[in-house]
Amino acid sequence: MAVISEADTSADGWMVRGLVGLANGRMEDAVQAFTRGDALGVDPALAVNHCAVLLAVQRPDARVCSEALMKSPENPRALLGLAAASTAGADRVVARRALNDLQSARGVTTDQWMEAARLYRILGDDREACALRLRTGTPVGREDVLETGRSCAAAGRWDDARSLLEPLSPATPEAAFILGTMALERALDADEPSEREGWIGVGRTWMASCAEADRDNAAWFNNMGRLEDLDGEQEKAEEDFRKALSLDPGLYDARLNLARLLHRLGRVDAACAEMSSLWTSDSDYRLVAGVDLAVWSRERGDAGLARRIGEAVLTECVDAAVKPCVAEAGLFLAVLETEEGNVDQALERLEQAVTASPEVVRSQARVEPEFEALADNLRFAQILDPTIGASP
């Protein structure tokens, strides 16, 4: 065991104290030693250790790790510390840049790759998370297999996810749940009815294989409801969506699914009630709910409410620069204005929607019955086809 004089405040002295602290599990002693040693500014290794030890005690510091990288460029520990600190601080650009730089760094350990994969997943990049986890070799631990399977399923790498998770299912309910969710997504994406039916069956089998205790959660009932809805069992689907909401009233996905199911069943008032609660929430589904609620309000004959909600949605979508939302809300308001005979306002809204998503909006506008009233309007024709009236 190294013995350091209390009077030794050199870089080497602080380095040894820090390493001794790590070896003995005295993490705060290590933090203090590396912090004071780094402050001397003479040893890049101290800067890297300062960054790394803060990450180890779950207090990553972006400034400390940025300075460590300046002194030791492309150091894996410094890059990982910067990525973790930036992820915690919601600076996604810096976090992603650090993780991307890590992939070209030398000497990255398996544990560091796994931590990078975890951070990529937090950042919403399941494709990179899956790729990194598979890059380190086939995961062996149950939790590693599950986490890798989740990332690969979310990234759309179905075959990789399935090969990892099937050996665990049905003995491991979490694996069965992930597989069932994956099958649901495949069913939703399927173009051929036979393919869709196949995935629905597979999904219901996997979901049913979860143990009874593991079925008593809102996400399970929501997924089963979606599978039942796709399978034409709307009564069961409604029952499961409501069960999901009874377990977790904040599961907004289940509320959206329930509202849309009720609307398809012709129960518009009940659908609007469910969608109104989403529209007034702070969920990620709020703007989606607003568009649906505006459309359904028009169906109920309440054009005033439809307009107010549609304009509120459009304003928020424009402010947030969410183009698909701008397109959908703008097109809806264009239809509403046309229906009320406000041609100039309708064309302004239509132009706004086309600017946000030209191909999609033009395609929908060409088959919108309300726009038949504008068939002879030159400006309308030019919005749908900019080449009309253009100079040769």
The pLDDT of 344-351, averaged and rounded, is 96
DSSP label of 10:
S
pLDDT of residue 170: 66
**Dihedral sign from CA coordinates of 264, 265, 267, 270:** negative
| pLDDT tens per residue across span 5-62 | 566 788 898 999 889 999 999 999 999 999 999 999 989 999 999 999 999 999 999 9
% of residues, the chain, pLDDT over 90: 69
Of 32-41, 137-146, 345-354, 361-370, the range with the lowest mean pLDDT is 137-146
pLDDT of residue 1: 45
pLDDT at 137 over 80: no
The pLDDT of 145-154, averaged and rounded, is 89
Across the chain, mean pLDDT equals 90
| pLDDT tens per residue across span 181-201 | 999 999 999 999 999 999 999
Look up residue 327 and give its amino acid: A
pLDDT of residue 270: 95
Gap between the Cα atoms of 309 and 312, Å rounded:
5
**Tokens matching residue 323:** 């183009």
pLDDT of residue 355: 95
Gap between the Cα atoms of 253 and 45, Å rounded:
48
> Taking the chain, what is the end-to-end CA distance rounded to the nearest angstrom?
86
Chain centroid to CA 360: how far?
23
Neighbours of 229 (CB within 10 A): 21
Q: How confident is the model at residue 156 (pLDDT cuts 50, 70, 90)?
A: confident
Instruction: Evaluate whether 47 touches 63 at the Cβ level (below 8 Å).
Output: no
CA distances in angstroms from 237 to 17, 153, 224, 261, listed in the order given = 63, 24, 7, 8
pLDDT of residue 284: 87
% of residues, the chain, pLDDT over 70: 95
- Show the domains of the chain with their CATH numbers: 1-108 (1.25.40.10)
pLDDT of residue 283: 87
Output b/e per residue, 144-166; b: 16+ Cβ within 10 A.
bbbbbbbbbbbbebeebbbebbe
The pLDDT of 105-114, averaged and rounded, is 89
In the numeric block, the tokens 């495949």 are attached to 186
What count of Cα atoms within 13 Å lies in the side-chain half-sphere of residue 327?
15
285's CB contacts (< 8 A; 6+ apart) are 252, 253, 255, 256, 278
Look up residue 280 and give its amino acid: T
The pLDDT of 277-299, averaged and rounded, is 93
| pLDDT tens per residue across span 48-84 | 999 999 999 999 999 999 999 999 999 999 999 999 9
Instruction: Evaluate whether 139 touches 148 at the Cβ level (below 8 Å).
Output: yes
Which pTM does this prediction carry? 0.75
Q: How confident is the model at residue 392 (pLDDT cuts 50, 70, 90)?
A: low
Of residues 133 and 246, more confidence is placed in 246
**Tokens matching residue 308:** 């107010």
pLDDT at 135 over 90: no
pLDDT of residue 210: 80
